[in-house]
Amino acid sequence: MRTHTWTLLALALVSRGALAQNEAALRAAFEGKSLTLKVDMPATSQGIDVFPQESMPVNWREMAERMKEHGTALKPGQQVMITKVVVKKDSHIEFQLGGGGYGTFGDYMGSSSSVSAVEESESREERELREQIKQAPGPTRRKQLEKELANKRGERERENSRARAEAAQANEAREANLRVKRAESGSRFNLRYKQGIPPFALTPEGVAAALAPYADIAGMPVVAAGETSGAGARNAASPPGNALASTAPPSASSSAASGTSGGLAGMKKGLSVREVETLLGPAATANEVQEGTLTVMKRTYTMEGKKVSASFVGGVLIDFVITPQ
């Protein structure tokens, strides 16, 4: 029993050491470099969750909700520094950009809380006047006392209104500062693997391939698993039939080269505007609508007697409907 326990402990230490070595290699490969974004990034440390091994790696509706709630920190075409890469045990890789996004413990510790107005309740003078009104000897005196009470209440309500206005102004200034801070704090990608991080995903090429649909990393070409490096290690580290570049949505040209379907059959969420128009041709109509803080690009296409209504966020297809023309 003791031998079994020591064996498990040794395996755990070896695994932890391997993760530390892989994290060190990823940090050396990426930190301090810049990348160019292809998608909007939410202004929160939640960032964008990417599941490279899934057929739909990103839940774009969830991303839309995050951007509605927190705003947008980074835009397509924007260059930003890779500030931190962290391997989280055997579940995901944090790829932090421009600070990693607002919402860490330090951000909350350094931020001020919302301001509440301190309102005065009924004063002692008001209560005494109410009692005097009940015992007033006649209507004339009662009216005098009621007028005094109304003046006291009016004065108190004016002070309370002033306090509420000052609190609202302070909260507006706080929210404005918070929006600026969120916009300046960057964002992040979280590369998540449900069955644990596979070996190929812990290489610089594997990370670059997983992020290829969403960002171009300076000096980091995306290499398919079938191609071997000088040491020939990449092919051995990659699972059979799973190309590193397979996380990127296929373009029409690559689809044609591989013999897969194009046109309507090639449509799927996650494609870029360029890839959709390579499949379907130029858009028949194009316009933009504002949904909260999110700008959604609406385009329609016609092909094979069908009409395709497509919605894009940050240049990425998040939804489409095919109907008879």
**Which mean pLDDT values do the consecutive 10-residue runs of the chain (325 residues) have?**
41 48 89 93 92 92 90 91 90 92 63 72 89 89 90 90 82 69 84 91 91 88 45 36 38 39 80 90 90 82 91 86 88
- Which residues are within 8 A (CB) of 240 and not within 5 positions of it... i.e. 6 or more apart? none
pLDDT tens digits, one per residue of 199-220: 889 999 999 999 999 999 987 7
The SS3 assignment for 163 reads helix
d(CA 319, CA 325): 18
pLDDT tens digits, one per residue of 236-283: 333 333 333 333 344 433 443 333 356 888 898 888 888 899 999 999
Q: Which of 223, 182, 160, 209 is nearest to 99 (CA)?
A: 182
Q: Where are the domains of the chain?
A: 2-103+185-248, 124-181, 257-324
Q: Counting beta carbons within 10 angstroms of the beta carbon of residue 8, is it exposed (0 to 12), middle (13 to 18) or buried (19 or more)? A: exposed
To the question of domain 257-324 being in CATH 3.30.1450.10, the answer is: yes
